[in-house]
């Protein structure tokens, strides 16, 4: 037995499924999850001493690579002053100013401790502000695990085949309307059916929890127009895309202005952080200035703020996002070229620092329905082949891949050479 196998068996005795978040259990690909001991730059190291080039990056936060010296130092310095105060700090003011500078649609911001908290709070605020109960989300989009958002959800919920979770009363779920991502007509139909009761649309501006699906031309603009026409708020969930698709997120990349934005992952530099913010008149509806309640014992935690700020400051370096996008393009197009070479049908999507590959004949994947029809056998074979070659991809066909600035020429070349060998073996099988 490997050390990971032993630890996994031990973990299952005391932790449901042996993991603290479902996709980590490798349900989407089978086999034993690797227990990780440490990470540095583009690499993670498991408990058996294996080294992998990492394209998960802790599911998004590690955009500069693991154990970045500036972030590590910021955390060490902050620890000297104590771990938590439960009182305001200058660090939180600096963080709010930095977020607003980078994402200009956010006129005010509040920090929380996870992406789930960010979206849950933004939804409550949208409902309180508009006085309407219904929300509209898209099938296959994941926005964390708040009750109202675990309806036809993506990510682990989809991997496990439970896109709508038991435990959510029908009385709650009925207020969550779902539409088809990249299909404006399906959204229009909902507004026509419920013209006065939809408080908000929430969406991933590039879907990253049903693999990676960018918005088709006109989709985001169409949603903005529908929200304006029917008096609903547009919430862009940038927990994954924020500071990843561009310095100002997907909203900057596509030139779309939401009423509210949610953030997570990159904003914490690897610490548990989320944030939501947007229009000042809407944000002032939050307690203590407004009536909508929202709070957190560890919100704005000084260690987490220090890590996040150090990362955000480093991300403002000139040319960084162009370089990240170029690396991402190379990996995605390199996978596709290798698949073509070996006669294996594959389609790819990529934008900024995120990418997806699909084992399918479809020339372009733009719809959730297409993702569910992909060749899962090919995905599993590719996944395990790459893992054996020392490349750690997301262990589910419903997750996006992430590049970091620490992925250099050596890692990119090694990854593409591994993909070539693995796809050759799949073609020969």
Binding stretches for ligand PMP (CB under 6 A): 59, 114-116, 119, 142-144, 155, 204, 208-209, 237, 239-240, 264, 274
Q: Which residues contact 425 (CB under 8 A, 6 or more apart)?
A: 385
Sign of the four-CA dihedral 222, 223, 224, 226: positive
Distance (Å, whole) CA 74 – CA 70 = 6
Closest to ligand PMP by CB, 247 or 265: 265
- Closest residue to ligand PMP: CB criterion: 115
Which of 265, 321, 350, 398 is an active site residue? 265
Determine whether 142 is an active site residue.
yes
Three-class secondary structure of residue 382 per DSSP: helix
CB of 362 to ligand PMP, least distance (A): 24
Closest to ligand PMP by CB, 62 or 426: 62
CB of 145 to ligand PMP, least distance (A): 7
Closest to ligand PMP by CB, 64 or 275: 275
Which of 43, 55, 142, 398 is an active site residue? 142
Distance (Å, whole) CA 274 – CA 284 = 18
Residues in the chain: 429
DSSP-assigned letter for residue 243: T
**With 0-12 CB in 10 A as exposed, 13-18 as middle and 19+ as buried, what is 264?**
buried
Distance (Å, whole) CA 275 – CA 103 = 12
Alpha helices per DSSP H over 54-141: 69-79, 90-102, 115-130
Closest to ligand PMP by CB, 190 or 239: 239
Closest to ligand PMP by CB, 71 or 275: 275
CB of 354 to ligand PMP, least distance (A): 10
Q: C-alpha 66: how far from its chain's center?
A: 17
Closest to ligand PMP by CB, 119 or 246: 119
DSSP-assigned letter for residue 33: P
Determine whether 265 is an active site residue.
yes
Q: Report residue 259 as tokens.
A: 């009423």
CB of 237 to ligand PMP, least distance (A): 5
CB of 3 to ligand PMP, least distance (A): 27
End-to-end Cα distance, the chain: 27
CA-closest candidate to residue 28, choices 157, 173, 175: 157
Which of 46, 183, 237, 259 is an active site residue? 237
Give the side-chain half-sphere CA count within 13 A for 180.
14
Closest to ligand PMP by CB, 6 or 58: 58
Closest to ligand PMP by CB, 33 or 115: 115
How many other C-beta atoms lie within 10 A of the C-beta of residue 55? 22
- Is the peptide bond preceding residue 343 cis, with omega within 30 degrees of 0? no
CB of 112 to ligand PMP, least distance (A): 9
- Is the peptide bond preceding residue 222 cis, with omega within 30 degrees of 0? no
Distance (Å, whole) CA 43 – CA 54 = 5
CB of 32 to ligand PMP, least distance (A): 23
Distance (Å, whole) CA 102 – CA 113 = 20
CB of 60 to ligand PMP, least distance (A): 7
Residues annotated catalytic, as ranges: 142, 237, 265
């Amino acid at each position: 037995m490997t050390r990971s196998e032993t630890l996994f068996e031990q973990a299952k005795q005391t932790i449901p499924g042996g993991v603290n978040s479902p996709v980590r259990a490798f349900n989407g690909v089978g086999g034993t999850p690797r227990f990780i001991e440490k990470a540095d730059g583009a690499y993670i190291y498991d408990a058996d001493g294996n080294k992998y080039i990492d394209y998960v990056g802790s599911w998004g936060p590690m955009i500069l690579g693991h154990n970045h010296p500036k972030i590590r130092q910021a955390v060490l310095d902050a620890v000297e002053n104590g771990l938590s105060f439960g009182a305001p700090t200058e660090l939180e003011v600096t963080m709010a100013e930095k977020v607003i500078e980078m994402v200009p649609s956010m006129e005010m911001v509040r920090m929380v401790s996870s992406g789930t908290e960010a979206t849950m709070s933004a939804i409550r605020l949208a409902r309180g502000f508009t006085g309407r109960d219904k929300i509209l989300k898209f099938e296959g989009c994941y926005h964390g695990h708040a009750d109202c958002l675990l309806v036809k959800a993506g990510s682990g919920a989809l991997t496990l085949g439970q896109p709508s979770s038991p435990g959510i009363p029908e009385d709650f779920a009925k207020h969550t309307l779902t539409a088809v991502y990249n299909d404006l007509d399906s959204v229009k139909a909902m507004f026509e059916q419920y013209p006065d009761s939809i408080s908000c649309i929430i969406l991933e501006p590039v879907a990253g929890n049903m693999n990676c699906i960018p918005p088709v031309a006109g989709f985001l603009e169409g949603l903005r127009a529908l929200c304006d026409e029917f008096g609903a708020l547009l919430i862009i969930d940038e927990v994954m895309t924020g500071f990843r698709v561009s310095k100002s997120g997907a909203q900057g990349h596509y030139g779309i202005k939401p009423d509210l934005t949610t953030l997570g992952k990159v904003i914490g530099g690897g610490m548990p952080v989320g944030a939501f913010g947007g229009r000042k008149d809407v944000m002032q509806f939050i307690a203590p200035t407004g009536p909508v309640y929202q709070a957190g014992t560890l919100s704005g935690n000084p260690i987490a703020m220090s890590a996040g700020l150090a990362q955000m400051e480093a991300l403002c370096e000139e040319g960084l996002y162009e370089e990240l996008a170029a690396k991402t393009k190379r990996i995605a197009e390199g996978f596709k070229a290798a698949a073509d070479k070996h006669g294996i049908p594959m389609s790819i999507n990529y934008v900024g620092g995120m990418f997806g590959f699909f084992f399918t004949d479809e020339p372009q994947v733009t719809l959730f329905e297409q993702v569910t029809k992909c060749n899962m056998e090919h995905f599993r074979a590719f996944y395990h082949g790459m893992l054996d070659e020392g490349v750690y991809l997301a262990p589910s066909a419903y997750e996006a891949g992430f590049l970091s600035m620490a992925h250099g020429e050596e890692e990119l070349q090694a990854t593409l050479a591994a993909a070539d060998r693995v796809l050759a073996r799949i073609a020969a099988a």
